[in-house]
Amino acid sequence: MANTVIGNTIVIDGEITGDEDLTIRGTVKGKISLSASLFVENSGVVEADIETKHVEVSGNVTGNITANEKVELKTDGRMVGDIKAPRILIADGAVFKGNVDMER
């Protein structure tokens, strides 16, 4: 499976859809809808609602996440918004403000 990377200096304002893994190091505003995994790295800033299979957050996310499998907030991750996923991992040191829904 391919992995697309949005670089540190890239800013996208709009909607992203696709069937491959996506790594965000820059800024994305709008909506992200993937059938694969999303990785928000330390430098990544996302101001969007996210619908995907699996999300890993090491950067900043503002918006709601709906994941079919799992959401992981890493130690450096910061998120404001609601999470809906069957499995949620929040690492020690992560910052989270919002609601959690773990219904399948």
| Average pLDDT score over residue span 85-102 | 97
Ranges of beta strands (E only) in the chain are: 3-6, 11-18, 21-24, 27-34, 37-40, 45-57, 60-62, 65-73, 78-80, 83-84, 87-90, 95-97, 100-101
Per-residue confidence (pLDDT) for residue 2, from 0 to 100: 72
| Average pLDDT score over residue span 16-30 | 96
Q: Is 28 helix (H, G, I), strand (E, B) or coil?
A: strand
Per-residue confidence (pLDDT) for residue 103, from 0 to 100: 80
Domain housing 16? 3-101
With vertex at residue 26, the alpha carbon angle to CA 16 and CA 94, rounded to the nearest 5 degrees, is 100
**4: pLDDT confidence band, cut at 50, 70 and 90?**
very high
Helix locations, the chain, DSSP H = none
Q: What predicted TM-score, i.e. pTM, was given to this entire model?
A: 0.94
- Mind listing the pLDDT tens digit for each residue in 26-85? 999 999 999 999 999 999 999 999 999 999 999 999 999 999 999 999 999 999 999 999
> Number of structural domains, the chain?
1
Q: Which among 66, 68, 58, 61 has a CA at the least distance from the CA of 83?
A: 66
Per-residue confidence (pLDDT) for residue 1, from 0 to 100: 57
